[in-house]
A and B are shown apart, each in its own frame.
Chain A
Amino acid sequence: MDPVIEVEGLRKEYLRVRGRRTVAVDGLDLAVPQGGVFGFLGPNGAGKTTTIRCLLGLVRPSGGRCRLLGQEPAGLYRVIARVGSIVESPTMYPRFSGRRNLELLGRISGIGRARVAEALEEVDLAERADDQVKTYSLGMKQRLGIAGALLKDPEVLILDEPANGLDPAGIVEVRELMRRLGRDGRTVFVSSHILGEVQQTADRVAILARGRSVAVGPVQEVLSAGHAAGLLVRLDDVLAGLRILGEAGIEARVDDGVLKVGLPPAEAARVTRTLADGGLYLTELRADEADLETVFLELTDGATRGKSR
């Protein structure tokens, strides 16, 4: 099955004053399969929004190609009815009601009022739908933007930082919505810097740094690319534990009341034996697994340092 989103060697340069060039995307390759949630991660300035703008035909690539549902930007009009999107903060007319804003958009594709009402219901905005958008909170505006993206009942949903401005309850709602849409067989392509959110939602991720992809694949695969971080040991007297391990030549440090031991999980028995020999009995021992945030920081930091050399 063809990927829903294909990016090959995508490059985008911006010409700045005095002829200087800024490279926003630098030879990016990406393939997003159909169905599920795909997380597109990267620090600010990594090129996430520029890539999305290229996919949606808003920005012309300086090199490479990108295709959405098999169409390059010039042919995007053939598939745009199957694509819902939010690019950065969704812009709506502040003096119009939320409903009227969506009706104006829907009219472009011949979408009627009933579907507008459904989309508002989906993002829990039905009660405030007839209020002016300027009275909405940031989170409500974001939800209205998501309703706009859902209006076409799209096969592909491209969401650029959809959790921006949302309160914790709103974040959970958006997460649930993305999961549900992904389970329904739609493809949700979501860029975010809230790594925990993506880890809980996405099936696959791509991590971007300086306009290049530094890791891509299923979430668990990308997580395993993180360094084995050792062992976490909890015991009543951490300082005594630190001393005993040190005397045994085992590298360790105290971090937030827990001993972080520099041995791989396979050597857990050595730690328990050493501590028991010293008269200390641990209350918890577990592998210090890397989370997406750790992997993200390692990869993006590495890419940044590599580039600055």
Chain B
Amino acid sequence: MNGLLASEFRRFRSRKLVKVLTALEVLAIVATGVIVLLTQEYGLASLADVLMGTSLVLLSVGWMLGASAIGADWHAGHITTILTWEPRRGRVMVAKIAASLTGVFVLSLVIQALLGVALAVAAAGAGSTAGADAAWLAESAGVALRVALLSTIFAGFGFGLASAGRNTAVALGVGFGYLVIVENLVRGLRPRWTPWLLTDNAAMVVIGRPLDFPELGRSTIEAGLYLSAVAAVLLLAAAGLFRARDVN
């Protein structure tokens, strides 16, 4: 199992999509730092707000990376090759999930840390660092950790859907269709179902306190647990399908 895990971690690290998306995020961070430096208006005290604002990008990246971690392997036929080395499908699935979710979690934390460092340097050079005390650090770290966890949960959504559909595009299409179209329709037509919508629960986890509107009637931890449960159901369903279906 250790060898399989090591192999999957190395595969995840070496994926072109991981490298491209990481490079784009680093580029965006550098650009943000430069803009802040030029405008000379940034106050480091608002770092937590910036991290909340950039969370959508990280959640989308998490979803994409989770989906492509298994979807690309199905598409190219690598699953067949891997199964001729480790025929226990449960182990293959666990290793793939562990590698991609851990990879997304670490990547999200690193990106946010880089963003924080870039903004701190820019604020120290040409903005304001007032209010950057211990409470600020705890609040910013809390947001970063919640966003990283949420990105991991979203990677789980992407992984589960791509594994069941045996294609990355399935996960991206279903994700876009559900989050953008279905959830907005539900929000408008069935407001009572809002507490069960992924986007509202995700927003609550990012913000770290109950939303003013809509009222979900649950705590941040409960919202996080609800999203984790949805991801777990998707991953279990994907694992069940993987065990049951032929690999052609």
Q: What's the least CB distance linking B159 to chain A, in Å?
A: 19
Q: Given A91-B76, A91-B77, A107-B10, A58 and B247 touching (CB < 8 A)? A: yes
Contact B80–A91 (Cβ < 8 Å): yes
Q: Does chain A have a CB within 8 A of B11?
A: yes
B residues 1-48 in Cβ contact with A at 8 Å: 3-4, 6-7, 10-11, 14, 16
Contact B78 A60 (CB under 8 A): no
* Given A107-B3, A108-B4, A76 and B87 contact (CB-CB distance below 8 Å): yes
CB under 8 Å from chain B, chain A span 76-104: 76-77, 80, 83, 85, 87-93, 95-96, 100, 104
Q: C-beta contact mask, A155-174 vs B, less than 8 Å → 1, else 0?
A: 00000000000000000000
**Nearest residue in A to B81 (C-beta to C-beta)?**
A91
Contact of A93 among B3, B78, B80 (CB under 8 A): B78
Across the interface, do A108 and B78 meet the contact criterion of CB distance under 8 Å? Answer: no
B88 touching A77 by the CB < 8 A rule? yes
Q: Do the beta carbons of A104 and B87 come within 8 Å of each other?
A: no
Interface assignment of A39: CB less than 8 Å from any CB of chain B: no
A148 at the A/B interface (Cβ < 8 Å)? yes
B94 within 8 A of A: no
Does A59 contact B87, Cβ atoms closer than 8 Å?
no
Chain B residues contacting A77 (CB-CB under 8 Å) are 86-88
Q: At the interface, yes or no: A44 with Cβ under 8 Å from chain B?
A: no
Known: A77-B88, A80-B84, A108-B86. A59 touches B246 (CB 8 A): yes
Chain A residue contacts of B85, Cβ below 8 A: 80, 105, 108-109
Give bound CA distance, A87 to B81, whole Å: 8
Q: Give complex CA distance A87, B78 in Å.
A: 11
Do A58 and B3 touch across chains, with their CB atoms under 8 A apart?
no
Q: Are B81 and A105 in contact (CB-based, < 8 A)?
A: yes
Kindly name the residue among A56, A58, A92, A109 whose own CB sees the greatest number of chain B CB atoms within 10 A. A58
Taken residue by residue from 119 to 152, chain A's Cβ proximity to chain B (1 for < 8 Å, 0 otherwise) reads as 0000000000000000000000000000010000
Interface size on B, residues (CB 8 A): 23
Which residues of B (82-120) have their CB < 8 Å from a CB of A?
82-88
Given the known A-B contacts A53-B248, A58-B246, are A73 and B7 also in contact in the complex, defined by CB atoms under 8 Å? no
Q: A73-B87, A77-B87 are in contact. Are A109 and B3 (CB under 8 A)?
A: yes
A110 within 8 A of B: yes
Taking a contact as CB atoms under 8 Å apart, the answer to whether A90 and B81 are in contact is yes
B247 to chain A: which residues have CB within 8 Å? 53, 58-59
CB distance from A26 to the nearest CB of B (A): 17
Residue A57, interface by CB 8 Å: yes
Are B81 and A148 neighbours in the complex by a CB distance under 8 Å?
yes
Chain A CB within 10 A, most for which of B11, B77, B78, B84: B84
Instruction: Report the Cα distance A87→B83, complex, angstroms.
Output: 11
* Cα A296 to Cα B137 with chains together (Å): 77
Give B2 Cβ to nearest chain A Cβ, in Å: 8
Residue of B nearest to A78 (CB): B87
Question: Which residues of chain B are within 8 angstroms of A59 by Cβ–Cβ distance?
Answer: 246-248
Q: Cα distance A198–B10 when bound, in Å?
A: 39
Q: What is the CB-to-nearest-CB distance from B8 to chain A, in angstroms, rounded to a whole number?
A: 9
Instruction: Report whether A104 and B10 are in contact in the complex, using a CB–CB cutoff of 8 Å.
Output: yes
Known: A58-B247, A91-B78. A107 touches B84 (CB 8 A): no
Nearest CB on B from A55, distance (A): 10
Whether A108 lies near B7 (C-beta < 8 A) is yes
Cβ 8 A contact of B11, one of A83, A104, A148: A104
Cα distance A90–B84 in the bound complex, in angstroms? 11
Inter-chain CA distance A80–B82, complex, in Å, is: 11
Chain A residues 26-62 with CB under 8 Å of chain B are 53, 56-60
Nearest CB of chain B from residue A233's CB, rounded to whole Å: 51
In the assembled complex, which residues on chain A have CB atoms less than 8 Å from the CB atom of B80?
58, 87-88, 91
Sorted nearest first, the 3 A-B pairs with minimum C-beta distance are: A91-B77, A107-B7, A58-B247
Q: Which residues of B contact A (CB under 8 A)?
A: 3-4, 6-7, 10-11, 14, 16, 76-78, 80-88, 246-248
Give chain A's interface residues, CB within 8 Å of chain B. 53, 56-60, 73, 76-77, 80, 83, 85, 87-93, 95-96, 100, 104-105, 107-110, 148
